[in-house]
Chains A and B, each alone.
Chain A
Amino acid sequence: MSYTSTELPRRSFGETMRADVWWTQPLIVFLGLGTFIVYSTWAAFQGNHYFSGNYISPFYSPELFGNSPHSWFGARPAWWPGWLLFSPALLILWAPGGFRLTCYYYRGAYYKAFWADPPACTVGEPRKTYLGERSFPLIMQNVHRYFLYLALVFIVILTIDVWKALWFADPSGKSSFGIGIGTIVLAVNVVLLGGYTFGCHSLRHLVGGFRDQFSRAPTCYQAYRCVSCLNRRHMLWAWLSLFWVGFSDLYIRLCSMGVWHDLRIL
């Protein structure tokens, strides 16, 4: 069933007859994802300037342990090794990071942009061997639905953060309802992350896609249609939410540092 190399000659890396500028898309993905990875890693290791009043950066929420008023279980735990750098973000970021890393859209995008596997459609690859997602390590991508479960929990937590961002403390310590630019930034973040998470291919399967007969389960069918609707623009949601979650952290960081001042609308 297989063909010999004389029947199907192998092309060298980058070899193609394409006449268009095929490398622009992988380059944009490389720069976009690369910038986000560098910024988010830097921000996660800072361990400071991650909250400003009633706002908390989505990179640091939920703050399980930490020094801010948003911390769930108090300050840094005593069992944390002294030699190991501590940042509240490091305790939680693996979950949304894992969700994006194993996402079907991102997989296709970073295989091309970071691993040239292939660099672009009909463009020659740098290596001869290929394992695909059939064996270790990429077989681990099948864990995606478990990261989805965690991502859904994060959506709930970030929604609660938006609720908290609606309540501002005055100098006497009394809370009053209000809306600041930061509230809107965090609310848009939840909407975009929700659009990305609720359009997930695994969710689409779990809510109804596994069925062969939708007519037997009308609720599943409606849920499947809703997820499919978001799934059609999954790439767009993925990029918008990625950009905005980074911007949300930057906004709160700069407000906390006093570089930017949050404007109260209400």
Chain B
Amino acid sequence: MNATFKIWRGDANSGGFREYATEISEGMVVLDAIHQIQATQATDLACRWNCKAGKCGSCSAEVNGMPRLMCMTRMSDLPLERPITVEPMKAFPVVKDLISDVSWNFRVKKRIKQFKPRPPDAPDGTWRMAQEDIDRVQEFRKCIECFLCQDVCHVLRDHHMHDRFIGPRFLIYAAALEMHPLDTEDRIPELREAHGIGYCNITKCCTKVCPENIEITDNGIIPLKERVVDEFYDPLGWLWKMGTKKSQTGPK
């Protein structure tokens, strides 16, 4: 069976779609087809990939307008009666063809306060954690940093607020640290101000595209928004805390 692809070719200055037809066989994914086109018709086609197993997060692109890992998108799941479009991620500058420059994400990560554990629980310098305390954080640790959630987020993609909003990937990263049972750091003021959690308007597009099926919005972003409310917008909560004299520092 033949399939037609419209692949975006170009660089930071200019570019456009070019059409390629290629043979599709059973079990192929989009990345296989891209490699086949690269080997037979467009040897200069630039495409980033590594594991071909949905675990490295390298082959992120937009297939038929939706951010996806090319290695996890089966050809059998796509309508072949019309051309399949493949483009680089739109929330970041293009380097060449299907490759975009995602280095902004690594700079953002450095801005988030690092893990700061409480003093060790045991004389040998180790800690004790219960499984129920770590369950939530383990979900966030599944992230492979493919940045599809960053790409689909309209705050970055359409409004280009990279200087004011860290995006869903780093809200999840902050949630993993903030909810960690050993961590003592307080990141809530930064989340509200510099990291711009208030810009998220809960469209859940990030959750929809996550290849690891992390419930980014429900389990990560909304609980962080609620923690921001605790600290900045809930006068009754402040009175309750004053009454119960609960400390605000350290793990709760």
Query: Which A residues fall within an 8 A CB radius of B?
Result: 1-3, 5, 7-8, 10-11, 16-20, 104, 107-108, 111-112, 117-118, 121-122, 124-125, 128, 130, 132-135, 138-139, 142-146, 201-202, 204-206, 209-215, 221, 231-232, 234
Contact = CB atoms under 8 A, between A and B. Distances in A.
A18 B201 contact: no
B202 A107 contact: yes
B183 interface: yes
B132 to A, nearest CB: 5
B45 to A, nearest CB: 18
Given A117-B201, A122-B62, A142-B228, 8 more contacts: A5-B160, A17-B64, A18-B64, A112-B203, A118-B158, A121-B208, A122-B205, A232-B218
A146 B233 CA distance: 11
23 contacts: A1-B104, A2-B161, A3-B162, A8-B160, A17-B64, A17-B65, A18-B64, A121-B154, A121-B208, A122-B65, A122-B66, A128-B159, A130-B155, A130-B161, A132-B198, A133-B198, A133-B200, A138-B201, A202-B226, A204-B223, A205-B223, A213-B133, A215-B130
A8 B93 contact: yes
Contacts of B64: 17-20
A132 B199 contact: yes
Given A201-B218, A201-B222, A215-B132, A3 B227 contact: no
Q: Looking at A104, A107, A146, A232, which has the most chain B CB atoms within 10 Å of its CB?
A: A104
Contacts of A107: 201-202
Interface in B236-252: 236, 251-252
Contacts of A221: 132
B24 to A, nearest CB: 17
A107 B204 CA distance: 11
A117 B203 CA distance: 9
For chain B, give the interface size range.
35 or more
Given A104-B202, A125-B154, A212 B179 contact: yes
A10 B90 CA distance: 10
A5 B159 CA distance: 10
Contacts of A112: 203
A7 B93 contact: yes
A133 B201 contact: yes
A150 to B, nearest CB: 13
B155 to A, nearest CB: 7
Given A8-B90, A108-B201, A2 B130 contact: no
Given A130-B159, A133-B199, A18 B230 contact: no
A239 B218 CA distance: 17
B201 to A, nearest CB: 5
A132 B155 contact: yes
A246 B205 CA distance: 29
Interface in B139-167: 152, 154-155, 157-163
Contacts of A118: 154, 158, 203, 205
10 nearest CB pairs, A to B: A134-B198, A17-B65, A18-B65, A215-B130, A121-B205, A132-B199, A205-B226, A108-B202, A212-B251, A2-B163
Contacts of B93: 3, 7-8
A257 to B, nearest CB: 40
A142 B229 contact: yes
Nearest to A105: B202
A201 B226 contact: yes
Interface string B41-55: 000000000000000
B70 interface: no
A135 B92 CA distance: 26
B12 interface: yes
A18 B79 CA distance: 12
A130 B199 contact: yes
Interface in B64-98: 64-67, 79, 82, 85, 87, 90-93
